[in-house]
Amino acid sequence: MLAHVPGALGEAEILRLREALAGASWEDGASSGGASKTMKRNSQLPPDSELSRKLGSAVASALLASPAFIAAAIPLRIFPPLFERYEAGDRFDPHVDNAVRGDAMTGARIRVDLCATLLLSEPDEYEGGHLFVEDIFGSREFKPHAGDVVLFSAGSLNMVTPVTRGERLASFVWLQSMIQSDEARDLVCDLDAAIQDLSPRIGGDDADMRRLSTVYHNLIRIWGEA
């Protein structure tokens, strides 16, 4: 699973998040790195702070309002989104994210199937800071626009290259999908995309469209959990 979702958050939402983060107090990002914390050099908003929870709730709501994000992730649970800042010299060396995450405030635990990086800075605001993700086709590089989301399997090797100028702001999100298998989720996502492409051309009342929609929902019924 590797997907680029453009414009998951709009300009107004990005501006509100950035204004709130402008006066925030940051801490060492290694505190949330788990087993990979020795490879992580950046800053993060304290995860249990009131501001982090408030902004995280806004990010989660926006993602859940994005049809493209829903189609790719088929989310069951979202860990409270966190916020990170990369300045000159900061980086995140190649790592794989933890398989399980627990929320210290609520005690809730999720199986981490997917990771999502939501950019809050535009590419021309910083140099370096490229996100690399390994998938079955090799290494993929991303430096998307503010508001875009890069969604990838939590089992993928990933890294953020050193920032050499400016500031890279982002929110990162861990998710448990209704469909655990990456392969099954990809098939359902492709089927959903085909349905969305065909529907305007042949109409939602077409008999074959109804058959495709039935297959889509029955695959989720077979593979999904709720």
Q: What is the rounded distance in angstroms from the CA atom of residue 216 to the CA atom of residue 226? A: 16
What's the gap between Cα 225 and its chain centre?
A: 20
Note whether 181 and 150 are within 8 A (CB): no
Note whether 165 and 88 are within 8 A (CB): yes
Q: What is the rounded distance in angstroms from the CA atom of residue 66 to the CA atom of residue 13? A: 13
Q: What is the rounded distance in angstroms from the CA atom of residue 88 to the CA atom of residue 208? A: 55
Note whether 43 and 170 are within 8 A (CB): no
Q: DSSP state, 137?
A: T
Tokens standing for residue 101: 């995450």
Q: If residue 173 lies in a helix (H) or strand (E), which one and from where to where?
A: strand 168-177
Tell me whether residue 85 is annotated as binding: no
Q: Which residues are annotated as a binding site?
A: 168
Q: Which residues are annotated as a binding site for 2-oxoglutarate?
A: 168
